[in-house]
Amino acid sequence: MIKFFLNGKEVSTEVAGDMPLLWLLRDSFKLTGTKFGCGIGQCGACTVHIDGEAMRSCLMPVSTLAGRAVTTIEGLGTEEHLHPVQQAWVEQEVSQCGYCQSGQIMAASALLANKPNPGEQEIDQAMSAIICKCGSYPRIRKAIELAVKAQS
């Protein structure tokens, strides 16, 4: 049995230790906001926070999670209390199909938590990890700039 913290609450699981966190979140905890995109850590649709860092859940074996804190899009903010990054996303109307946006928002929110005023290169580095087939990149950049302003 593995115990860890999921969106602020302690949880436990008995799935096989080699199961990636992505499938534990989706199939066992029914937290479907974290998306399956490629399964090989290339597209970033499955990005979550682990101990505050943006990580790809499709490559993260459940066995490595003991005692760690996992935050998913469902734990970031709610409709009533949007996280500033989510708020900026709405204001810029970033989402098109929306499928990759959980990953984009988790990457952006981890960046801003660690670097409240990131430079262009830091934004590039953090956000180039996540593919958006719809091409929402220009609006993602604007939304991050907006969130930075809102936080300061």
Partner 1 sequence: MAASGGLFLGISYQQLDDGDAAEKFASSGKQAIPFNAWLKISTDGTITVGIHRAEMGQGVVTSLASMLAEELDADWQSVDFEFTPVDRDYFNFGMMKGGQPFGDPSSNIGTGAGTWLVREVFHTMGLSITIGSSSIIDAWDTLRPAGARARDMLLSAAAKRWGVAKDQLKTEAGFVINPATNLKLSYGELAEAAATEKPPSKPTLKSPADFRLIGKNPSRLDDIVKVTGQASYGLDVELPDMLYATVVHSPIAGSLVDTFSSPPIKELSGVKAIFPVGKPAAETAVAVAAENSWLALQAAKTVEVTAKPPIDGIRDSLTIDYRKQLNDPEPVIFREDGDSSAVLSAALTNQHTSLSADYQVPYLAHVCMEPMNATAMLDNNQLTIWAPTQAHSMVRDIGAEISGLDPANVTVHCTFLGGGFGRRSELDFVEQAVSTAMRFSGRPVKVFWSREQDIQHDAYRPLAYSSIAGAVDSNGAITAIDYKLVTQSVVASLYKRTPNPRGGDARKDSSAVSAINPGIYNIPNLTVSFVPIDSHIPAGPWRSVSHSWNGFFIESFIDELAVASNLSPLLFRLNHLEQQPRHQAALKAVAEQVKGVANIGYAISESHRSVVAHAVEVEIINNQSLRVKRVVCAVDCGPVIHPNNVIAQVESSIIDGLSSALFEQITFKQGIAEQSNFNNYRRLRFNETPIIETILLDSPMERPGGMGEPAVPGVAPALTNAIYQATGIRIRALPVLNNPDFQPYQASYSTAESIS
DSSP symbols for 57-85: GGG-BGGG-TT-EEE-HHHH--SSS--HH
Alpha helices in the chain (DSSP H): 21-23, 73-76, 84-92, 101-114, 120-127, 137-151
Q: Does 150 bind partner 1 (CB under 8 A)?
A: no
86 binds partner 1 (CB under 8 A): yes
Residue 86 or 146: the one with the smaller Cβ distance to partner 1 is 86
Whether residue 33 contacts residue 102, with contact meaning beta carbons closer than 8 Å, is answered with yes
Distance CA 75, CA 7 (A): 5
Residue 7 in the binding site for partner 1 (CB under 8 A): no
Binding piece for partner 1, criterion CB under 8 A, among 1-9, 63-71, 77-85, 110-118? 77-85
Does the footprint of partner 1 cover residue 16 (CB under 8 A)?
A: yes
Q: Which residues bind partner 1 (CB under 8 A)?
A: 15-16, 19-20, 23, 26-28, 30-40, 42-43, 45, 72-74, 76-79, 82, 86, 89-90, 93-102, 105, 120-121, 124-125, 127-128, 130-141
